[in-house]
Structures are given as structure tokens and as C-alpha cells.
Structure 1
Amino acid sequence: MRRRLPSIQALQCFEAAARHQSFTRAAQELALTQGAVSRQVAALEAFLGVALFRRTPHGMALTAAGADYARHVRQRLDALERDAVDVMGRRGQGDSLTLAAVPTFAARWLIPRLPDLAARQPGLLVHFETCTRPFLFADTGIDAAIWAGTPQQVQQWAGTRATHLMDEDVLPVCSPRLLPDGQPVTPEALARMPLLQQNTRPEAWRQWFDAQGVDAPQAMAGPRYELFSMQAAAAIAGLGVALMPTLLVQDELTRGALVVACPRPLKAQRAYYLVQPEGAEREALTRFKAWLIQLR
């Protein structure tokens, strides 16, 4: 059956006009005339049978349907562009995989190990995107995600199945200049020091102090950071003590940029998982997953 699809040019014109809220600026971006953009959008509205824009006293604005459609069109055009760039880059050779990953884990643990994957699977390319929270695979071009979470959180990620990769130990670390005489401190002393917080793990310090049997009223106080790499940088700068997964700060500990503030590691409630959508598995993902599992 012939697909009922609008033209790519009409979608590009609509997406640009929706993003700029202006046919004129969309035309400038696309190197077209304002009239050409207007005609393409009008043709798209006629094809859909839905008004995508409405006139306002100050120009034009998206309708509710237009705003929703623009979001989906932008995602699809981005995916088409990625696919085209991927094919051009590979020139028809080998296979590729798009992986969403927790940024610091990817940068500090996974990517340094990719030369081994390249040696074992020279035709397999791995592209990376950022992932800090669950998302809908159907809305992306992502094949799988490496994600840190609790078993309960993984089970609640709808439409997916997960492979356990490794557990995680966390340890208090800080700049050596924060420690008196350069020596580790007790949990009681640590409770009085400035604590750095992780946005995605607001209970982490409280859980650590509870495991030590220490009352810490300020366990959830302190500046919050989105990424562990930011938290590590803040700790190196002397802003406070960070509760970091040990596998993410090995280099800093070896160099002495960070030191152990209190030698009491704790097995975190979270672990690292390879999460993928339910259904058929691409051969590229099968090969990558087999390599990843043998690293555990």
C-alpha cells in the first residue's frame, strides 16, 4: 500500500516555522522565500485537514494540534538526519548502535573500554546520547540504554526488559585540603562537613549515615548537581564531600585530586543495567550486549 505521508519539504518548513514562530525566519533558515514556506505549510494543513497555526494580533502562533505535531515532527526529522549521517559515515559497511547512557558512567567507565570492542567487533559503531531518566524508546531512535537505578525502578520502566550489569559501591570523597592533617574523619565528624548532593539520588547521604548509625540532621542539605562529573569537580574544588560510586572516581583517587574522606564504603541500592525495548533485538545490540556482559 502507498503510504500516506506529507512531503519532507513541507515537514521541514513546518518544523522551522513552528520553532521560530515565524514564516520569515523559517524562510531565512531554509534559504527559501517567505511565500514558499507559507505555501508548504498550507499544503501540509490541507493534507492533514488540521489547522497548525492561527493568526494573532502580534503575528502567528501554533494551535494545540500544531504544537503537538511539531514536537513529533522534530523528533522524526532528527532521527532521519541521524540515520542519513550514520549511513554516510559507514558508507554501507558494518553496523551501528545508538546507546543512551548515564553520562559520567559512559565517560569514565564505558568509553575507555571501547577500544577492546573495536578490536573484537571492528564493524560495529556505537553512538552515544545522554540518559539520566527513563524515556519512551518508541519516541527515539535509541536501541538501548545503560542506566543506574533500583530493581523496582527498572521494573517500572514500561515496555522494556533489563540485563543486570554490575552493582555499585559508594564512598565519601573530597579534596585533601578539606581533611584536618590530611587524615580521614569519622562519620560523626563527616556529618558536620559540607555535603554535596546528587539530584537523582536525594536520599543517598541519609542512607549512608543511617548505615553508620549516625544522626545527621543536615544529610540532605547542600548544593545539588545533575551529573556525578559535576559533583566530582565540585569536590575537587573543595566545595564539600561527595558520595561517589567508587568506579567513577578511580582516576581522581589515584592522582590524589580526591581522597577518601571516611573509609566506609556502602553498597548502594542502585545498580547498572542495560535496558532495551521489548520485542525483537537487532543483531548489533546482540553483539554489543555479549561484549558488555563479559566485562562484568
Structure 2
Amino acid sequence: MPMTTLPSTTALRCLDASARLLSFTRAARELHLTQSAVSHHILQLEQLLGVPLFVRRHGGLDLTAAGQSYWKDIAQVLRHLERATESISATGGRGGMLNLSVSSTLANHWLMPRLHAFVTAHPDITLNLSTRVGPIDFTTSNEDASIEFSPGPQPGLEARLVMPLVLRPYISQHALRDFDPALAKRRKPALSKAQLAALFTAHRLISRTTVPEAWESWLAAAGLAGAVPEDHFHKGPRYALMSMAYNGVIGSLGIALLPRYITHGAVATGQLVCLSDTGWTAPRAYYLRWPSNRAEPQVLRTFSDWVTGLRQDSDT
């Protein structure tokens, strides 16, 4: 296709909005255009390509196979164009901008308290943070990279290890005091295997849906395999987020396996008690990930070197 027949960015934005919303009317509202203008741009695009992109039906739209394929490619181009434009306009061509997605618990309890050091060292870099639950879809998002609890490198994704997830059992000071006042008086109680087994059996064990094997794996690592009745694992609640499990322990709802990065403050103030120094390392970990099909910008390399270097200083 000659360069003179490339579609306009307006037409491509109309395609992107219409494909996401499956409605010319809603796309027009988002783009501040009239419905007829959006419909006209789509029609011109279909004539240019020689294939229909949508199936028009009463009450909405459906993408054709060609439309779905073309939109997937165009969406990535538009996201890349938006990021490049934002970066230049925000920094005046100096430094750069990085749009990063991070799990909310990791962002609030681990990354944000350390971020001042990065900003001080790299004042020309603007770091925009967003949070989400679950893996990111880079084909439809504006993020350049994400820090995710994941297996690491996967087809189409580059990855660098940020931090392993090491879990230890925690209980609230209030719950421990109700169970054994003498134990609660100790700053860091040294518990026998029999005492641990009794504690775990007497309290609900809070689990996380993303690491369902954690309790059985930790008990095996601590030499306590079989010490807790198997049906007891199913009596405790399961939470989707680390922050939920943490707040559940704070609220004396049970005992949970948590990483030190989220518990250190509550342990220091006496709200939480770590029941064992034995840690179990999850098979997945926190990775910085970005699409393989994108050129890695200098701003991402700079942040990647900094954030992966924090692992040496992190008490996991």
C-alpha cells in the first residue's frame, strides 16, 4: 500500500473506539464526534482496505475476523503513539515517561516507600503508576511494563526478577493472647512444633487464591507435614488479594502466610507476631515484564536496573 493511501489517525481512533465499545454511538461520544462522522470514517477505512470490519446489526456491532485482526494490530500502534506523545510532551524531550502497572499491595507496601530514591536519582523521568488485579494485556493497555506475581518470561514477554515471594505465618497479638497469654508476652516467641500445630489447629488458616498450595507447602518446609488435619485447610477463608489476608490477620480472623514487606510495620508496633522464621518460597515471584515485540526504551532500562537492584536490600 503506497504511503499516500495510509488511513488517518482519526479513522484508526474511530476503529479502536468502535471495536472496544461495539457501538458507533458510544465511540462518537468518547471521541467527541458525531455518530455519522464515526460511521463515515469506518466506511472509508473499509473501502480503503477492501474488506468489511464490522457486521452492523440492530442495537450494536460485531467485529468481522478481518476487523478483529486489524484492530489488534492497530490498537498496539495507537497505544505506542500515545505513549511516545505523552513522554515528549511531559518531559520536553528530556528524560522520559514510564507507564507502569503494579499490584496494589506491592505498590503501597514495598515500591512507594522506596520510590523517592529513584525520583531523586532520575528527576527527568516521570513514572506513572496504575494498579490492576491479574495479568495485564499489553495489546489494549497504555502501560509500558508491569510488576506482576507471575512465572516470569513467557512467549511474547520479557521479564526480570524483582523479588521472590517468601511466606511466613503471622497471627495478631490479640489472637495469640487469647490462645496463650504467656506466649503473647514474649516479643518473639520460640514455639515448638507441638505448639505451632496446636495454634494452627485452633485458628482458621487464611489462604490466598493465587497461592492455594502455600499452607501445605509451608508446613512441609517447617517439618509439620500431617500435623494439621487435612480438612482444617478448607475451614479458613480464601482471599484474592495479599492486602485482604493481611487485614484479616490484623482483625484476628485467623493466621495467614505473609511476606515481611507487608508485615514489618505491624510487627514493629506489636500488632502482629511472626510464629516462625521458616520461610517458604513460592514457585512464582514478582517480575518486571514488558512485551517482546516493543523496543525497550532507555527509561525502562533505567527503571529495570534500579528496581531489580532493590532485591539485595529487601527483607523478603
**What TM-score, normalized by structure 1, do the two folds share?**
0.80
Q: Which of the residues 260, 263, 276 maps onto 2:276?
A: 263
Partner of 2:215: 205
Q: Which range moves more in the overlay, 178-187 or 131-140? A: 131-140
Residue 52 of structure 1 pairs with residue 53 of structure 2: yes
Q: Provide, for residues 228-252 of structure 1, a one-character-per-residue CA deviation record: whole Å limited to 9, x for no partner.
A: 1222123223332221111222122
**Cα distance in 1 between the residues matched to 2:93 and 2:43:** 37
State whether residues 152 and 161 of structure 2, in contact with CA within 8 Å, keep that contact through their aligned partners in structure 1.
Answer: no
User: Residues 75, 187 of structure 1: CA spacing in aligned structure 2 closer, same or farther, 3 A cutoff?
Assistant: farther
* Distance of 1:34 and 1:9 partners within structure 2: 14
Whether the 8 Å contact between 1:103 and 1:130 is mirrored in structure 2 is yes
Question: Aligned equivalents of 2:73 and 2:173: distance in 1?
Answer: 49
Amino acid of the residue matched to residue 282 of structure 1? P
C-alpha separation between the residues in 1 aligned to 2:174 and 2:81? 51
Tell me, in whole angstroms, the C-alpha distance in 2 between the residues paired with 1:223 and 1:69. 44
Assess if the C-alpha contact under 8 Å between 2:170 and 2:256 holds in 1.
Answer: yes
Equivalent residue number for residue 117 of structure 1: 118
Give yes or no for contact 2:79–2:140 (8 Å, CA) kept in 1. Answer: no
Amino acid at match of 2:22: Q
What is the alpha-carbon distance in structure 2 between the residues aligned to residue 68 and residue 192 of structure 1?
Answer: 56
1:157-196 equivalences under 5 Å are: 157-179=154-176, 180-181=179-180, 183=184, 186-196=196-206
Q: Which residues in structure 2 correspond to 1:138-287 (within 5 Å)?
A: 142-149=143-150, 153-154=151-152, 157-179=154-176, 180-181=179-180, 183=184, 186-211=196-221, 212-213=224-225, 214-217=227-230, 218-219=232-233, 222-260=236-274, 262-270=275-283, 271-275=285-289, 281-287=296-302
Kindly provide the CA deviation profile for residues 30-53 of structure 1, in whole angstroms up to 9, marking residues without a partner as x.
333322222111112212222222
Cα distance in structure 1, aligned partners of 2:5 and 2:114: 45
Match of 1:107 in 2: 108
CA contact (8 A) 1:178 1:238 kept: yes
Which secondary structure state, in structure 1, belongs to the residue aligned with residue 52 of structure 2? coil
Give the direction of change, closer, same or farther, for the CA distance of 1:169–1:3 in structure 2 (3 Å limit).
farther
In structure 1, give the amino acid aligned to 2:93: G
SS in 1 for 2:247: helix
Q: Is this contact kept in 2: 1:132–1:147, CA < 8 A?
A: no
Instruction: Label 1:171 to 1:32 Cα distance change in 2 as closer, same or farther (>3 A).
Output: same
**Matched residue, 2:88:** 87
Distance 1:162 1:78 in 2: 20
Q: Is the 8 A contact 1:171 1:245 kept in 2?
A: yes
Helix, strand or coil at the partner of 1:125: strand
Q: Which amino acid aligns with 1:14?
A: L
Deviations 1:172-214 (A, max 9, x none): 2233333324537623431342222222111111111222232
SS class of match (2:152): helix
Identity rate of aligned residues, in percent?
35
Pick closer, same or farther for the CA change 1:275–1:19 going to 2, 3 Å.
closer
Tell me the SS of whatever aligns to 1:41.
Answer: helix
For the structure 1 residues 127 and 3, does the alpha-carbon distance in structure 2 shift closer, same or farther, using more than 3 Å as the test?
farther
Q: Report if aligned partners of 1:131, 1:147 keep a CA contact under 8 Å in 2.
A: no
Per-residue deviation at 1:86?
3.2
What does the per-residue CA deviation read over 1:74-122, in whole Å, with 9 as the maximum and x for residues that have no partner?
A: 5544443344333322232212333343432232112211111122222
How many residue pairs are counted as aligned between the two chains?
Answer: 290
List alignment gaps of at least 5 residues for structure 2: 190-194
**Which residue, out of 283, 290, 293, partners 2:305?**
290
Normalised by the length of structure 2, the TM-score is 0.75
Give me the whole-angstrom Cα distance separating, in 2, the residues matched to 1:26 and 1:68.
19
* Aligned counterparts of 1:71 and 1:191: Cα–Cα separation in 2: 51
Partner residue, 2:8: 7
Is 1:43 the equivalent of 2:52?
no
3-state SS of 1:93 partner: coil
Maintained 8 Å contact 1:187/1:209:
no
CA distance in 2, matches of 1:221, 1:39: 59
**How far apart are the structure 2 equivalents of 1:198 and 1:235?**
13
